[in-house]
Each structure stands twice: as C-alpha cells, then as structure tokens.
Amino acid sequence: MNLLLDEVARATLRLAEAGVASPRTDAEELAAFVHGVRRGELHTVADSDFDARYWECVARRAAREPLQHITGRAYFRYLELEVGPGVFVPRPETEMMVSWAIDVLRAMDVADPLVADLGTGSGAIAISIAQEVPRSRVHAVELDETALSWARRNIARSGLAERITAHHADMRTCLPEYNGRVDLVVTNPPYVPLDGADDIPPEVRDYDPAPALWAGADGLDMIRQLEAVGRRLLRPGGFIAIEHGDGQGIDIPPLFPESLGWRDVRNCKDLAHRDRFVVARRAVD
C-alpha cells in the first residue's frame, strides 16, 4: 500500500465527520497541494516523501476553513485563480451564467463587445469572458479594496490586462462614461438574506467577505438597484445576467418589467438544475 493514499483515506473520514461536503475531493486536493503533484499522481509519491504538514492542512479544513484559502487557488472554467482572505471564492454554479454570457457575446453582431462585470471579486467572470471572447473589452468593477487587489493580481497573471480594466467603484454608480454603450452587464451580487446565516456553510458565512453576501431582509436589496444600473449602462438590445440564490427565482423577473424597457426576462438553471440566474434584454425601440 501507498502511505499517502492511506493517509488520504483517513483524512477523508475526518473531513466527513467534520461535515465537509466533499471530503474525498478535499482530502486529495490537500494532499496534491502539500506534495506538489496532481490529484491523479498521488500514488506516485514515495512513502519516504510523505509530508506531515498534510495533517496541518487537514485540521484547518476540518475546522471549516475554505479549501481555497488553504491552497491559495481556486478553479473556474479554464482558470486557476489566486484567492485568499478578503475575496469571495468563485463557485462552480456561476460557471453556467458565464457560459450563457459567452454564448450571447459570440452571437452578437458586434466587433468588440463591451462588458461590465459588476462586483468582480477575484476577477473570475471578467477574465473568463476576456479569455473566451477574444475581442471583448471587459470592465471589472469592485468596491472592496482587498477584493480588488486579488482581482488585479489575477488579471495581471492572465495576460489579458490589455482588455480588462479594473475599477475601484460602487456597482450602483460605476462607469457613467459608458452609459448606454455596454453590450452585456454580468454580475454575481450579494443576495443572502440577513436572517440566512444558518442556511449557508461555515466556509461561506465565516470566510467570504460580508459585503459579497448580505443584501437586506429578503436578499434582493442590491438586485433591485441593479435594475436601474442595467437600464443606465446597456445599449438598446444589450443584455444583463444576474446570479441569485435558491428560492429567489420567482421574485426577480418582476423587478425587470416591460414598462421599464425590459424584454425576454427569464430564469436559467445551474449545474443542479435549480434556478440560478436571471437574464433580460433592453428593448430596441
């Protein structure tokens, strides 16, 4: 038997007992991180090379510190991002919204589509769009200075800094110079109700920055304001995509009424086939 694989099996049990949602995956990710190999290469680590620091990392994860804070990296679509304290850790659920956004941009009859990523956090959405829509120009907006520093670091590492501009600004008042010119607004805003702390995992509640989570009694305070932001920024025929939480899919489409110039408002599903983001289009006439 391989010592490291034995230790991973033990760590899996410990993480499962601690309530970690994906104990086997996290145990393997930590082992790969500590030993400098890929998850599929754990069996190649010799017994003599086992690093006892692995159990320090397992203990931190069992205490519900996010895996991404321990390893310093998060994966999103085709990206490996640097993350840590002070920045929202990107989630796989958001990848579906980004996939939708990329498809919409590719289908546009626009040579150099203009995109606003509001509340960019780590920069995951902005960088993914710039990478996968080669002629796009993306403006990544973030109010929190710590989060913005992570975004700027990831943008610089991406090699796409010429097409991504990071802005230290409030998403509600940002980019006035682009009013009526933006082709796509995309955002993963705060949407957790103030009384929803018991419904979210400790990794989120205790480590993700509070401004990225809480949004009033029903979790819709920021999304209500984003309607006006989208109406201000988008050109006629432009699109907006807004991520939201479980159970909010019914409440958000009415916030984008035809009377205010919105068309084609609908909910879209995430990887678990749950309503996860709302999209809408600005009327052309």
Q: What is the pLDDT of residue 221?
A: 95
Could you tell me which residues are annotated as the binding site for substrate?
188-191
Three-state SS at 181: coil
Strand order in the sheet with 182-187: 164-168, 137-142, 114-118, 182-187, 234-243, 275-282, 262-269
- Asked if residue 55 and residue 111 are part of one domain, the reply reads no
Per the listing, tokens 């995309």 go with 186
- Asked if residue 200 and residue 110 are part of one domain, the reply reads yes
Does residue 75 lie within any of the structural domains?
Answer: no
pLDDT tens profile 226-243: 999 999 999 999 999 999
Three-state SS at 224: helix
- Asked if residue 90 and residue 140 are part of one domain, the reply reads yes
- Asked if residue 245 and residue 127 are part of one domain, the reply reads yes
Dihedral of alpha carbons 41, 203, 93, 241, sign? negative
Strand ranges for 1-66 from DSSP E:
none
What total of structural domains would you count in the chain? 2
Q: What is the pLDDT of residue 89?
A: 95
The identity of residue 172, as a single letter, is R
- Asked if residue 139 and residue 32 are part of one domain, the reply reads no
Does residue 13 lie within any of the structural domains?
Answer: yes
Gap between the Cα atoms of 240 and 230, Å rounded: 7
The identity of residue 143, as a single letter, is L
**The CATH number of the domain where 170 resides is what?**
3.40.50.150
Please count the other Cβ atoms lying within 10 Å of the Cβ belonging to residue 53: 12
Does residue 69 lie within any of the structural domains?
Answer: no
Strand ranges for the chain from DSSP E:
73-76, 79-82, 114-118, 137-142, 164-168, 182-187, 234-243, 262-269, 275-282
Could you tell me which residues are annotated as the binding site?
119-123, 142, 188-191
Pairing of strands 262-269, 234-243: unpaired
- Asked if residue 183 and residue 50 are part of one domain, the reply reads no
- Please identify every stretch of the chain with a pLDDT value under 50, giving residue numbers as ranges: none
- Asked if residue 121 and residue 48 are part of one domain, the reply reads no
Q: What is the pLDDT of residue 272?
A: 80
Question: In 3D, which of 204, 200, 192, 189 has the Cα closest to residue 69?
Answer: 204
Residue 22: domain span: 3-63
Does residue 146 lie within any of the structural domains?
Answer: yes
Does residue 259 lie within any of the structural domains?
Answer: yes
Does residue 143 lie within any of the structural domains?
Answer: yes
- Asked if residue 90 and residue 56 are part of one domain, the reply reads no
Tokens (6 digits) for 1:
């038997």
Asked if 50 and 3 count as a contact pair (C-beta separation under 8 A), the reply is yes
Could you tell me which residues are annotated as the binding site for S-adenosyl-L-methionine?
119-123, 142, 188
- Asked if residue 277 and residue 217 are part of one domain, the reply reads yes
Q: Which residues pair with 172 in a beta bridge?
A: none
Please count the other Cβ atoms lying within 10 Å of the Cβ belonging to residue 81: 25
Gap between the Cα atoms of 4 and 15, Å rounded: 16
pLDDT tens profile 48-62: 899 999 999 999 999
Q: How far apart are the first and last CA of the chain?
A: 69
Q: What is the pLDDT of residue 1?
A: 66
Does residue 27 lie within any of the structural domains?
Answer: yes
Does residue 219 lie within any of the structural domains?
Answer: yes
- Asked if residue 103 and residue 13 are part of one domain, the reply reads no
- Asked if residue 37 and residue 151 are part of one domain, the reply reads no
- Asked if residue 195 and residue 127 are part of one domain, the reply reads yes
